[in-house]
Every structure is written in C-alpha cells, then in structure tokens.
Amino acid sequence: MTLAATGSAMAAGPVVRELLPNGLTVVVRESPGAPVVALTLLVGVGSRHETRETNGVTALVGRVLLKGTRRRSALELAQTAEDAGGTLESATDQEYAELRGRGLARHWPTLLELLHEVATAPRFAPDEVERERGLLLAQIRGLEDQPFQVANRLLSRALYGEHPFGLPTAGTLATVGRLDGADLVRHFERFFTPDRMVLAVSGQVETGEVLRQAGRLFGSMDGRATGIPLVPPPTRPAEARLAEVRPTQQTHVLVGFFAPPIAAADYAPLKVLNAVLGSGMSSRLFRVLRDEHGLAYAVGSFYPTRREGSRLVIHVGTAPGNATRAERGILQEVDRLREEMVPADELERARTFLGGVLDLDLRTNARQSFYRGFFELMGVGPDYVERYHQLIEAVTSDDVRRVARRYLSEPAAAVVGPA
Amino acid sequence: MEPRRRRLDNGLTVIQQAHRAAEVAAVQLWVRVGARDESDAESGLSHFIEHLLFKGTPTRGPGAIDRTISGLGGEMNAATSQDFTYYHIVLPTRHVETALEVLADAARHASFDPEEVERERLVVLEEIRRARDDPNAYLWRILTRHHFPDHPYGRDVLGTPESLGGAPRERIVDYYRRHYLPNNAAVVVVGSLEPEAALAAVQRAFGGWTPGPVPPSATPGAPDLAAVRRATEARPLQQAYFGVAWRGPLVPAADVYAVELLVSILGRGRTSRLNQTLKEEQGLVSSIGASFYAQQRAGTIIVTARTDAERQGKVEGAVLAEIERLRGGPVGEAELARALTNVEAGYAFGHETAEGVAYSYGLAETVWTLDFELTYLDEIRKVTREQIAAAARRYLVPDRFTAATLEPIEVCS
C-alpha cells in the first residue's frame, strides 16, 4: 500500500509582485489554508547605517513608531490591532527595520492601515521617546545577562572593529542614553522612504484587493533616500581574540569568519558548508563535540543572510575546564573542511536538510510574508525561495572545499566565562 | 474538522487528522511519564531517557535516526515536562512511514549502549549548567521549587548534577521499561494523509509493541498554599527578575475558562492591565506578562516581570494592586471581547501547521482529555464578566502566593 498524499494540499496562489511608481514594492501571496493574515513592512535601514555616535537609533525609532501616530495614541494602536485578533510589532536588525502585523484574515484592511499609519505618520511624542529609551536601555542590560549574547557582541567587535557591521543592533548604554528626539526624526525622515520599503502580505486574502488597497495607501508616499555613503566592511578581522570574564557556569566560545552576501555565487556553497559543519543534529560539530565527546549541550554554526556582507559563526557553551578542548575541536573540523572532500552521501543529506528546513519554515503566513519581503529587500526577489532550492542542489563537494579554503582562513574568536 | 481517536489492541491510543496546508506530516509520540513520576534517586531520568532514546537501537546505530530524518528534509525534536515526554517528527508526507518506524523502534528497542549513556550524561550536565546561566530559566526553577514544596512538581525536570551523575545504567533501563508501554502512550499523526492509510501505518509500526502493567501515578494534588512564601537570591545580573504564582483551577473544572480570560486581561499583550499600568504608566518594569500553566495535578497562575535594582522593591506591591482591582469588580466589555478575540486568533495561528494541531491533541490526550481541547473554544465563549471577577476572587488570594526574585549584584569583571 502506498501512503501517497491525498490529492494534494490546499494550493497557495502565485506570489504577485508590484512596483509602485514611488519605488515601494508590494508582494502578495494568497494562502487559503487558515483564516489568518500576516503583513510585513521591511525598510532598508539598520545598525549598518548607523555610526558609533548614533548606534541604536534605528532600534529606538522602531520602538517609538508603535507609540502613537498623528491619528492614534499608543494604546489605541495596540487596541485596534488586538481587536483584529492580532499584534503590531517592530524589530530591527543589521540591514533592515521591520514593522509587522498579524491577525484574523477578515481584518486585513485594518492591519494594513495600521502598518501604513505607523510607517508614515509617527508622532515622536517626547514622553514616549523617553519611555522607550528607558525600555531600550533595559533591553541592552537584559542582553548582558545572557552569556551567549555577550560573546556575540564581543565577536562582532573582534571581526569588524569600528566598522558599522560590528555595532550592536540595540545600541549601547552610552549611545542610546545620548540620542534625542531630533536624532530620531532625522533618521526616520532620511531612511523611511518608499524606495527603501517592501510590503509583503500572506494569508486568506484576495490578491487584487490587497494590491489596490496597498497602492491607495502607500502609493502617495514620496521621498527618496539619497547620499548614503556605505563604507565597505574590512577584509581582515580587527582582533584575533577578545575575552571577557563573567562568573558563569559555562564558558562560551565563538569563532567567526567573514562570509559573502546573498547575491554572491559562493552564497549557496557556503550555506551547504554551514549545514555540514554545524546546522542540525546530524552536523559534524553536533556529532563530534556533543555526541562523541559530551562537551556541550548547545553547539553549532550559523551564517546569516545579508545583502552586503556576512559572517559564519561557530559557537559552543561548555564547562570552563573544557573550553580549550572545545575550541580545538572546532578548529579541527574547520581544517577538515578545508582539506578533505565532503563525502557524497553527507553532501546530499546536507542539501536535502537545507531545502527541508526552508520548506518547513515557510508553512506559516508570518514566515511567508517575512521571507518574500526579505528576499525582495535583499535584492534577489520574492521568488528566490524557489531558486534557492536549485542553487543548493547544484552545489558540489568541490564547491564546498573551495569556499572552505577561501573563507575559513582567518578566524576571530570571542570567549566569555569565568577567569 | 474532527480528529479520529482509536485504540489499538495493545492499548496504544492513535489520534489522526488530515491537515492539507502543505504536503507535510507531523508524527508525535506522547508517553505519560515525566519528572513527577520520579523518586528522589530517579530525579532527571525522564528527561535523560528523552535524550537517550534516539542514541541507537539494535538495528539503527548512534546518530542513524538523526541522519535519516534530516536526510529526508525533516525535523525532529523532543521535550520532557512534569507530566509527559514527547517526541516529534515533521517531514514530507511521502516519508511518513519512515517517521513512524523510527519512533516505534526507538520507543520499543532503545539500546542504552553504556558508552552512549556516559557521553550523553555529560551533555545533560552541560544542559543543567546552561539553565543556571539563563536568568529566566533560573527564576522559574526558584519559583516552582518554593511554590510546590514537598511535591513532585517542585523538582527540576533536568534533575541535579548529583542525581544524574549517580544514576547507573540499570536504573535508567528499569525506569524506561516500566513506563514506555503502548498502554501508557499515544501516537498522533496529522498531515496530508488519508485517515485509514495513516491508521494502518501506525498499526504496522506500533502494533507489535507489547503492553504491560502501567505504574499507578502517585502524584497527589498540590496542597493549597497556607501563606505568602518569598524567595530571593542574589545573582551576578544587570536586571532583576521577578515572578509570583498562585494556585489556579484544575482542568477540566469550569473555572479554567474564566481563568484563561482573566490571565489574558491581566497580562497578555500590550493592552493588558499589567502592561498598561506597570510598564506604560508607572515605568516600573521593562517587561511583564501573565500566564496560566495547566498541569495535570495543579493549575498555576503566574506573573513574571523584568525590572532593575532600583525599582524591584515596588513591583510586587504594584502587581498586587492590579490583582485587587480585578477582584473588585467585573472587567470591561471591551476587555472581555478583546481577550476572546485573542484566544480565537491564538487557536487559528496554532492550527496553521500540522505539528501545531498534533501538539494540541497530544497534550490534551496525555494530560487532560482530547474532548477538553475539542470543546475549548465553545466553552470559553460562554464565560461572563462576573465569572472572571469571581475567579479572580477565588484564586488570586492576596495572602496566599509564592514570590521569587533574582536580585542583581555587581558583576566583577
């Protein structure tokens, strides 16, 4: 007997992309499965566009945007979203700021209106700026209570030094403490322009109707972001090693390398390399450091997708007495990738794993709207989801060894733990 | 859409439902065993076995199961609580038989190879160390320890370095044999599958599993609190972490629905009372939330907050003032409507994926009843504003709660 699927899953509609005359891109995906909708507005601005003086300004803007518009107070914004069965949230990263809403599908016009309002008519009320500054400072302190986050901050500094790529997304206590309302407005007006925005919608909606409403609301925005000088990231780590003493139970060791951006030909091979090395429970680091040597509970590697330039980071948390051994184990696995070919069956497993992880992740509307918008903002288009599978499938063991030799050559390390 | 629930001849419960959002199937094995079933000497064994189950069987060597599932484009996970241990695989539907075979093999024939046991022991010891470095996990530990004194629910699911380090292999295998029985477990299959084909596949994989006597659950109900209990610990942190817990109703008591809404109005989302008052108006906390944790033998209403050293002394009083307001009179009509919409949306988002549906069914079947889950939305819609205030008066008693604080002390660096 066969367990062939029963006449197909409920098919989602095609992904439709429309470029408005003012430069804003709208991406819509109809998904009939569940009575929900997710909307993502991505703006091409993040800590990458900050300086050592303004570090954290994007994060603070992201927070304050939700704290009142010319039409609605912070409470009214939250109530309207919750009455739509949903939430309105913001997040910021190195290369983008994100405003997102989700809720019951029948309320999508309300959620779209809310997104438009917070992205175009924020109030920047002084008391809200003060309150959000306090909360952002608390968030920064909270990150310092998580040893992995401390090590990650340290590694960024080791890799990038003074370059904006090394700045923490949330900012620092000193910089966030100094920002004022005028800084926020200036940053907002400079970067929150339609040509830097992508709106993505996924859910039980009608594509034509969403495009019409989105065009009506967002089409009237104007302005262009001009004169943004982007200093290229360094080509060598600023420091080979940084350490910080903390009275923790575990020592965290992070090892990082520079890695290429999404549009580079080496992106897919390095993704496969990362899967072989440290992604998932059958990866080499997991098998060797955890299964064979019992050195760690959490061990692995990650390679974030970036438009300009990225990093591949290996991490392990281990008993302080084992830190040296764990670090040596990590570097041995790196060397193995540079020296030996990945066997065919392992390569095949890693490729299938990568495709599977993305497919599984893409099953919710929230992830669909994020990824479609994200790939558009990264400059590779919302259909990159489909092309990604082909790119991964084409990667050979030769490719993996080539990118290992090219990129995994000059590590920077960060260590956080007891003296 | 309703799930089908059957029992195989060996006593294994099978729950199945079609879910056609993607060509994907979620397969879960739920075993009615958790930290509550452990003696002091066995503390941490339920969780340790969860780690060891995928470390090999006579026909599948160490790592083979991980390699098989990820090689099919699937994902695997597992978790242990006080009340249950569950194993989860999600993968393309065409491979669902492999997932069932792998789960059945591990559940029936785990090898507990001595060498693997010793290696994995070190991994769990690392997991314990890691949990101590995580302030949220650590706060939870302190809060539950004091909220459930002399009760199994007060024990750490991870065990202690001592209990775990001292457990010989025979004790682990003995514990496994006593609890891993088909008549003490449920298999849930949700995905793009024909119901009869799914059931037949479960029968093929699990039908040969031999039943046995299930140890009677010795977990008593958690006794009422007699007074306020406070626990404070100084930790090398930058922020203060605060939690307070009350006894709540036991599922399936009718009060459960009112308490769910009560908790939502009190502390879920930006518009909730604690967020509006303590965070927005008073600026006392940087984050705050409320939840209802429904275990089999205890219901717990919890408020947790993060603040700083200067303000931490004021948080408990401010939380209690909001509690007093809830006890004082009915909640607003708009508040109730919003809380209901929130529940409805949570349900819709939870059912977007096959594993979301499978989890809700498996949890209900294992800890309460499947029927409780299936009637949940209908029942919660009947709750009135007066019932919510009455539930607040009954459960959120001002002189019977447990409070825990992690106080920041200067980090020397």
Contact between chains at A360 and B75 (C-beta distance less than 8 A): yes
Cα gap B70→A353, rounded to integer Å: 5
Helix (H) / strand (E) element for B32: namely: none
pLDDT at B348 over 80: yes
- State both tokens at B157: 């699911």
B115: number of Cβ within 10 Å: 10
Q: Is B366 within 8 Å of B30 (Cβ atoms)?
A: yes
Phi and psi for A181 in degrees, rounded to 5? -55, -40
Residue numbers of A between 273 and 332 with CB closer than 8 Å to B: 280-282, 287, 290-298, 317-319
Q: How many CA atoms lie within 13 A of A387 on its CB side?
A: 13
pLDDT in tens, A140-162: 999 999 999 999 999 999 999 99
Once rounded to an integer, what is the mean pLDDT over residues A270-288? 96
Q: What is the pLDDT of residue A4?
A: 38
Mean pLDDT lowest for which of A197-211, A220-234, A324-338, B311-325? A220-234
CA distance A237 to A257: 8
pLDDT at B4: 96
Q: How confident is the model over B370-394, as a mean pLDDT?
A: 96
Contact A321, A294 (CB under 8 A): no
Q: What are B7-20's pLDDT values in tens digits?
A: 999 999 999 999 98
pLDDT at A226: 80
What one-character-per-residue DSSP string does B334-367 give? HHHHHHHHHHHHHHHHHTSSHHHHHHHHHHHHHH
| Residues A87, A102: Cα–Cα separation, whole Å | 6
**Distance separating alpha carbons of residues B323 and B326, to the nearest angstrom:** 5
The average pLDDT across B319-337 equals 95
Tokens of A190: 């400079």
Residue A32 pLDDT grade (very low, low, confident, very high; cuts 50, 70, 90)? confident
Contact, B131 vs B141, CB < 8 A? yes
CA angle A306, A312, A317 (to 5 degrees): 130
- Mean pLDDT, to the nearest integer, of A380-407? 97
Q: What is the mean pLDDT of chain A?
A: 95
pLDDT of amino acid A8: 43
- Chain A, residues 108-167, CB within 8 A of chain B, namely 131, 134-135, 138-139, 141-142, 144-147
Question: Residue B412: its pLDDT value, please?
Answer: 47
The percent of residues in chain B predicted with pLDDT above 70, rounded, is 99
pLDDT attached to residue B411? 55
Q: What is the pLDDT of residues A319-351, one digit of tens each?
A: 999 999 999 999 999 999 999 999 999 999 999
Shortest alpha-carbon distance between residue B347 and chain A (Å): 10
Contacts of B70 in chain A (CB under 8 A): 280-282, 349, 352-353, 356
Q: Is A358 on the interface with B (CB under 8 A)?
A: no
- Please list the residues that pair with B406 across neighbouring strands: B233, B241
Q: What is the pLDDT of residue B2?
A: 87
CB contact under 8 A, A145 and B239: yes
Q: B114-133 vs B135-147: helix axis angle to the nearest 10?
A: 90
Q: What is the pLDDT of residue A228?
A: 79
Q: What is the pLDDT of residues B59-92, one digit of tens each?
A: 999 889 989 999 999 999 999 999 999 999 999 9
pLDDT of A2 over the 80 cut: no
A175 touches chain B (CB under 8 A): no
Does residue A1 carry a pLDDT above 60? no
